[in-house]
Structure 1
Amino acid sequence: MRTILVGASLFALSAGAASAAGKLNFYCSAQEEWCQIMARGFEEATGIDVDMTRKSSGETFAQVKAEATNPKGDIWWGGTGDPHLQAAEEGLTEAYVSPMRDQLHPWSLAQAASAGDRTIGIYSGALGFGYNSDLLAANGLPEPKCWEDLTKPEFKGHIQIANPNSSGTAYTTLATMVQLFGEDGGFDYMKRLHANVNQYTKSGSAPIKAAAQGETTVGIVFMHDAVAQTVAGFPIVTVAPCEGTGYEIGSMSIIAGARNMDEAKQFYDWALSVEAQNLALQVNAFQVPSNMNAETSDKAPDFAAIKLIDYDFKKYGSSDERKRLLSKWDSDVSTLPQ
C-alpha cells in the first residue's frame, strides 16, 4: 500500500474537530490512482469522509447537469477545462475565490477569470500521441512524427482515440484540429483519421493503455499519459506533433447547491496547496501543477520544446460551440464507414 505524504500544516484539524468533521462527495475526472490518493490525502489532512466517484470529464459534466435540480456531488476535480467552463456558463458550478490564489500560475488564474471564478486551473498538459515501438516495427510502419502521419493508409486499423462526446481529451483533439487547420480543414482531418481508427473509447487515457498492452499501435492522448506508460515499463514513445498541438488546463469546480459546501471549499483550498499537488508524483501523474511551488517531474513533457497553439479556451469551452462541434462530429465523422 502506498504511503500518502501529506503536509497538512494549513489544513490539519485537532482530534476533536476531526471527529466532528463532515463528509464530501467528490467527483473526479483524473486517472483512478490520482483520484484515490487525493481522496485519501484529504481525509488524512482533515478527518472529513470522502466518497469518490471517478468518471471522464464529459461523463461527469453530463452527470452534474442531470443532477442540477438535486445535486449529489459537492466538488468536481480534474479533467479537461472545456466541460468545466461549459458547466460554469450554464450555472452548474459555484463562484469561489480561494485564499490560495496568490500561489498559482497565471494560466490557472486566467481559467478562473474566464469563468467568473466558477472554476480554476489545477494542472496543464499538452495533447499528442504515443505509439508502441514493438508493434510499429512488427508491422513495418514508419515512425509517426506529425498529425498528418496518422492519416496515412498504412495506419488503417492501428489508431485509437476516445469519443469526444464522453472524453475531454478527444474533444480537445477536435477543437485543436479546428484551430490548427480551420473548421473545414479540421473536420477533413478528423474524417481521414476516422478511416484509420479501430476503436473510439469512452475514456481519454484508454487508447494509450491499449497501446501499452499491445492492443493498438497508436493512442491519441495527452502526452503525460503516454509518458506514464513508458515510466511503467511499456515500449511507448511519446510524440509532440510537428504541426503544433493544443493543450488542456485541468480544472476544479464547486458544484452549485452542494450539500456539503463548507467541506467543498476546504477541499478546494487544500487541492491548490503544494502538499496536495505534490501527491501527483506518487502516482506518476506527469502534468504541470498550477501551484508555482509544487514539484514538476523531470519526466514530464517539456512545454518549452512543444509547439503549442494559442488554444481559445473561452470559445471552445462555451456551451454553444461545444454542442455545435460535437453535433457536427456525430453527423459528419462518426457515421462514415471505416
Structure 2
Amino acid sequence: MDFANRCRHFRRLLSLTVLLAPLSFAQGADLPAEAASQTGPATKPLILYSVLSEYPNVVSYAFTRKTGIPVEIIEMRGSGAAMARLQYERRSGNGDIWFGGSLGSHIQAGAEGYLVPYVSPQTTKLEPLLGGPFMEGTVNGLYGGILGIVVSKPFLQERGAPVPKTWKDLADPVYRDMIGMKSPLVSGTAFTTLISMIALMGEDAAFDYFKALHQNVEYYGKGQTYRVSTGQIGIVITFYHEVVNSIEDGDVAFIVPPEGVGYEIGGLSIIKHDGQDVQKAQAFIDFALSWEGQSLIKNAGSDRIPTYSKLYKEQNQQIKLQDVTLLPLDFEWAGINRQRLLDRWTQEVASLEKKR
C-alpha cells in the first residue's frame, strides 16, 4: 500500500472511531451463547455482500467492537448483481449476510431457497410498514426511502421545458433526451420504479408507459443522481435520501407526484451456504435492527429512513414517508415475479429502438 493510500485508510479508520466514540460497547453482549463463546483472534469473519458504502462499514465496525466478531465487506454493483452472485454460487459461496438493496431482490432470493429464515427479536420494535419480516421470515426491513422525481431547474429552464408534476408527464416528448435512469436489470431503484408504476397503472399499462418513457431517456446507467445535481441532465427518478443535500441550493427540486409515490425497503438477510455459523449471522441481524444499530444510519451520513419504530417517528426530514401518498406496493408479489418482469423489460423496453 503506497503512502497516499495508507493516509486515506488511516483517515477512514479515524472517522469511524470519531463517529462511534459516543457508543458504549460490551464485548459479547446480547449475543447467543454459541456466538459469544467463539469470539477471539482466530474467529472467522462474517462476510457481508453489500450494495451500500459507508453505512455497512459503520455498522460492521460497531458490531465488531461490541462482539469481537470480525466482518468482511464485499461490495456489489447493485441489487441485480447481488442476486446474480447468489444464483451463480448456488450455496457454494461464503457470503453470510446480504446487506441492503431492494426488497424485491431479497424476496426472490428467499423464494428460490438462497436465504435462511430468521425472525429477530428486534422485529417487534420495527415500524410495521417497513420492518417485516417478509417472505416467510427470510428477509428483514433495514431502512426505507421515498421514490420521486428529481429535476435540475436550470437545465429545464435553458431548454424551455416545464418542471414535471406527475409521473405521466415524464413520457411527454418535450423531455426527449432529458431523463437519466438506471436499468431495473441491475438497479434496485429502477426495479422499485417499475413496480411502483405497475401499482399505479396496472402491469400492461405500466409497460406501455415505460416504452414511451424510453424515448426520453438519454441513457441507462449509474451516476444519475450526480448528473442531475450538477445540471448535466434534467430529470432523474430516484430516492429522496439520494438528493436531500443537493436540494438545499435551490437548483434541484424533489417532486412528489400527487397520484402517489413508491417507496423502497432495503433488505437484510442471512445467506444460506454450507458450513456457515448461523448464530453469528443472527447476532449481526439483531444488532443491525436494534436501536443501537439503526442509530448509526445518521452517523454514516445517510438520510435513509430507519425501520426502528422510535427512530422512524423522530425523523426530521422535510419530506417524511408518513406525510406522502404511498402507492400500494406488494413487495412479495414483486419479488416472486421479479425475473418474469425483468424478462419482459428486456423484450419490450430494453430492445426498443429510439425514434429520431
* TM-score between both structures, scaled by the size of structure 1: 0.89
**Secondary structure in 2 aligned to 1:128?**
strand
**Would you say the 8 A contact 2:93–2:273 is kept in 1?**
yes
- Greater shift after overlay, 160-169 or 239-248? 239-248
Query: Among 236, 243, 257, which residue is 2:273 paired with?
Result: 257
2 CA distance for matches of 1:8 and 1:255?
29
Mapping of 1:83-98 within 5 angstroms? Answer: 83-98=105-120
Counterpart check, 1:238 vs 2:259: no
Residue 347 of structure 2 is matched in structure 1 by: 331
1 CA distance for matches of 2:39 and 2:45?
13
Distance change in 2, residues 1:260/1:143 (3 Å): same
**Secondary structure in 2 aligned to 1:100?**
helix
Residue 74 of structure 2 is matched in structure 1 by: 53
Residue 163 of structure 1 is matched in structure 2 by: 183
Residue 323 of structure 2 is matched in structure 1 by: 305
How far does residue 9 in structure 1 lie from its aligned partner after superposition? Answer: 4.7
**Secondary structure in 2 aligned to 1:214?**
coil
- Greater shift after overlay, 98-107 or 3-12? 3-12
How far does residue 219 in structure 1 lie from its aligned partner after superposition? Answer: 1.2
Query: Among 215, 224, 244, which residue is 1:227 paired with?
Result: 244
How far does residue 285 in structure 1 lie from its aligned partner after superposition? Answer: 1.9
How far does residue 166 in structure 1 lie from its aligned partner after superposition? Answer: 0.5
Residue 40 of structure 1 is matched in structure 2 by: 61
Q: Which amino acid aligns with 1:90?
A: E
- Aligned pair count? 329
- Greater shift after overlay, 132-141 or 250-259? 132-141
How far does residue 284 in structure 1 lie from its aligned partner after superposition? Answer: 3.3
1 CA distance for matches of 2:265 and 2:148?
15
**Would you say the 8 A contact 1:132–1:211 is kept in 2?**
yes
Counterpart check, 1:143 vs 2:163: yes
Identity %: 32
Point out where structure 1 has 5 or more consecutive residues left out of the alignment. Answer: none
- Greater shift after overlay, 186-195 or 53-62? 53-62
Residue 4 of structure 2 is matched in structure 1 by: none
Residue 197 of structure 2 is matched in structure 1 by: 177
**Secondary structure in 1 aligned to 2:309?**
coil
Distance change in 2, residues 1:252/1:193 (3 Å): same
Distance change in 2, residues 1:47/1:190 (3 Å): same
**Would you say the 8 A contact 1:21–1:46 is kept in 2?**
no
**Secondary structure in 2 aligned to 1:294?**
helix
Counterpart check, 1:317 vs 2:335: yes
Distance change in 2, residues 1:17/1:33 (3 Å): closer
**Secondary structure in 2 aligned to 1:308?**
coil
Mapping of 1:277-288 within 5 angstroms? Answer: 277-288=294-305
Bigger radius of gyration: 2
2 CA distance for matches of 1:223 and 1:194?
23
2 CA distance for matches of 1:36 and 1:218?
31
Residue 32 of structure 2 is matched in structure 1 by: none
How far does residue 8 in structure 1 lie from its aligned partner after superposition? Answer: 4.8
Aligned CA RMSD, in angstroms, stands at 2.4
Residue 276 of structure 1 is matched in structure 2 by: 293
Point out where structure 2 has 5 or more consecutive residues left out of the alignment. Answer: 1-10, 30-35
Q: Which amino acid aligns with 1:36?
A: N
Query: Among 134, 137, 140, which residue is 1:117 paired with?
Result: 137
**Would you say the 8 A contact 2:150–2:252 is kept in 1?**
yes
How far does residue 236 in structure 1 lie from its aligned partner after superposition? Answer: 2.2
1 CA distance for matches of 2:173 and 2:103?
33
Q: Which amino acid aligns with 1:306?
A: V
* TM-score between both structures, scaled by the size of structure 2: 0.85
Deviations 1:296-332 (A, max 9, x none): 54126312332211111121111xx212211111111
1 CA distance for matches of 2:161 and 2:263?
27
**Would you say the 8 A contact 2:91–2:114 is kept in 1?**
no
**Secondary structure in 1 aligned to 2:19?**
coil
Query: Among 99, 103, 107, which residue is 2:121 paired with?
Result: 99
**Secondary structure in 1 aligned to 2:113?**
coil
